[in-house]
Chain A
Amino acid sequence: MSVRSTIIEELKRVALEHDKPNTTFADETTLLDSGLDSLCFAIIVARLEDIFGVDPFNSAEELAFPVTVGEFIGLYERAVP
């Protein structure tokens, strides 16, 4: 499974677990407009770390926080070996 589809699947799973079933995750969707809150993103980042073995948020090269879903996916696509 690609990095992209893994991430989309995790986003959807967490949305479902937190009773936010009507969320959409297009590339241009702003993360904070997707309906997920900080806690949801914290959980997603932790799970993706378990899956991919990396946490690109802790990388010294990536100084900007992602704002859109597309940027969020791009962050992992660059980081996952």
Chain B
Amino acid sequence: MRRSLWELTDASGRPAERYLWHCGSTIALTRLLEETVLGGRASALYGRSVLVATANQLTAASILVELDGFAARVVICPPDLMPEHLASIAAGARADAIISDVETLSAAARGLECIEPSRLEPQPDLPPVRNQETGWVLLTSGTTSVPKMVVHNLSTLTGAISVGSGTGDVPVWSTFYDIRRYGGLQILLRALIGGGSLVMSDVRESIQDFLKRAGEVGVTHISGTPTHWRRALMSSAARRIAPRYVRLSGEIADQAILDRLRAFYPYAAIGHAFASTEAGVAFEVRDGLAGFPASLIGHEGGAVELRVNDGSLRIRSTRTALHYLNGSNPLADEDRFVDTGDMVEQGGDRYYFIGRRGGIVNVGGLKVHPEEVEAVINSHPKVQMSLVRARKNPITGFLLAADVLPRSQPEGPDASELLKNEIIAACRRGLAAYKVPVAIRFVSNLDVGASGKLVRSLA
């Protein structure tokens, strides 16, 4: 029989000795189990489709524990959701209520019942049996268009997590991620179900303050992207934590960051995991080397099956998402393999990640479509065409660089410099800072393939 998040948390042992820490507040898990931020109305949302769009992560976590097993569908809105996308998301989810304390979002949710969450407060009676198979909808990040809505349920989300035994030390988890993103949600669920505590980050907090706070409560397990970790190691507060386990995910973990973490936290196990919102948690590598063993590919019938087709990693497992709520593309192929779009290359007995299909570039965790940047560059009257590509970077993984074919080659270094500056200025005006190319190179031709498209090679 299905057990709800509430029941799994309750069963994971010693909730009075486990905590959620957020900026300025400490909540024992018993309070999460016994109290409410919804005025005890969770059971009134039985069978309904609900958007959760709160200002802070702690409120969102409380709502997830309260609603799982009651609501038919919970849409977990990330903190940077743009109000103009809300109507489309509400329609895609057939939502009939929104729980929000963010005015711009509740104002944009026309026609939905609006529920404003309170602080945690006691509720007189525990609600009745939670027996709905709640759909958990996550939104993907990175582009300016409406995010994709990816449907999971509690069992796809928790496939890689074992229920806490209630014995031994309580692991103290933390993550640089927001818990409303797949990577962060995994850590919340690991803490709640796996018998741990959790230190949540906050966007308004500096990395130093976050690390100090995590160190003060004795964080033992902590996860983030390679970019998060590079930034952490540049902070004087990196010594404030002494984790037993350091996890990287969400971007390519290169050998340099793995070596640096090993040198900096010699007593920690360091693992880099492959997971995505659509594909779920696929595998974790703990041998300290970049890439993953080729032996992981091709085993049929395991809990997680991996294939490489046309250079990209494909994943089939019970942890992959169920389907999309919007858009026309199916989430998986007819064999139920999810194409991750992450391109890999074999070298010896290992596979290495080399970038994203379609030239999508991951700049410090934010995805950029090169075409979007090319469009801005190409709008300059002196530009014929351009090719935007990834350039490796030790801080953000990648930055963008542009090869520009001018209508006529600039004459002399001054003219060349002037045109570069004009192009960069146009990019700054039209694009977010992380999308502005760091370098521009003038070329005399760009390869166009038989399909009539620019030839994009991977970084």
B264 within 8 A of partner (CB): yes
**Complex contacts, A47 vs chain B, CB 8 Å:** 438-439
Q: How far is the CB of B181 from chain A (nearest CB, A)?
A: 17
Q: How far is the CB of A47 from chain B (nearest CB, A)?
A: 7
A63 contacts B235, C-beta separation under 8 Å: no
A50 contacts B393, C-beta separation under 8 Å: no
Q: How far is the CB of B177 from chain A (nearest CB, A)?
A: 15
A9-64 interface (Cβ within 8 A of B): 17-18, 30-33, 38-39, 41-43, 45-47, 50, 55, 57-58, 60, 63-64
**Complex contacts, B433 vs chain A, CB 8 Å:** 18, 39
Most chain B C-beta atoms within 10 Å of own C-beta, residue among A33, A47, A63? A63
A66 within 8 A of partner (CB): yes
Number of interface residues of B (CB under 8 A): 28
Number of interface residues of A (CB under 8 A): 24
Q: Complex Cα distance A15/B391, Å?
A: 21
Closest to A67 in B: B236
Q: How far is the CB of B155 from chain A (nearest CB, A)?
A: 36
A50 contacts B394, C-beta separation under 8 Å: no
Closest to B227 in A: A38
Q: Mark B362-400, 1 if CB is under 8 A from A, else 0.
A: 011000000000000000000000000001011110010
B394 contacts A57, C-beta separation under 8 Å: yes
Q: How far is the CB of A2 from chain B (nearest CB, A)?
A: 23
B263 contacts A42, C-beta separation under 8 Å: no
B442 within 8 A of partner (CB): no
A38 contacts B399, C-beta separation under 8 Å: no
**Complex contacts, A33 vs chain B, CB 8 Å:** 208
B431-459 interface (Cβ within 8 A of A): 433-434, 438-439
**Complex contacts, A55 vs chain B, CB 8 Å:** 394
B231 within 8 A of partner (CB): yes
B399 contacts A42, C-beta separation under 8 Å: yes
With A39-B364, A42-B395, A50-B439 known to touch, is A30 a contact of B235 (CB < 8 Å)? yes
**Complex contacts, B428 vs chain A, CB 8 Å:** 17
Q: Complex Cα distance A42/B438, Å?
A: 9
Q: How far is the CB of A8 from chain B (nearest CB, A)?
A: 18
A32 contacts B206, C-beta separation under 8 Å: yes
**Complex contacts, A18 vs chain B, CB 8 Å:** 433
A46 contacts B438, C-beta separation under 8 Å: yes
Q: Complex Cα distance A30/B227, Å?
A: 18
Sample 18 A-B pairs with CB under 8 A, ordered by A number. A17-B428, A32-B206, A32-B207, A32-B208, A32-B231, A32-B235, A33-B208, A38-B230, A39-B433, A41-B234, A42-B363, A42-B394, A45-B395, A46-B399, A47-B438, A50-B439, A60-B259, A67-B234
* Contacts beyond the supplied A63-B260, A64-B264: 19 A-B pairs with Cβ under 8 Å: A17-B428, A18-B433, A30-B235, A31-B234, A32-B206, A32-B208, A33-B208, A38-B364, A38-B395, A39-B364, A41-B234, A41-B395, A42-B396, A45-B393, A50-B439, A57-B395, A58-B256, A65-B234, A67-B236
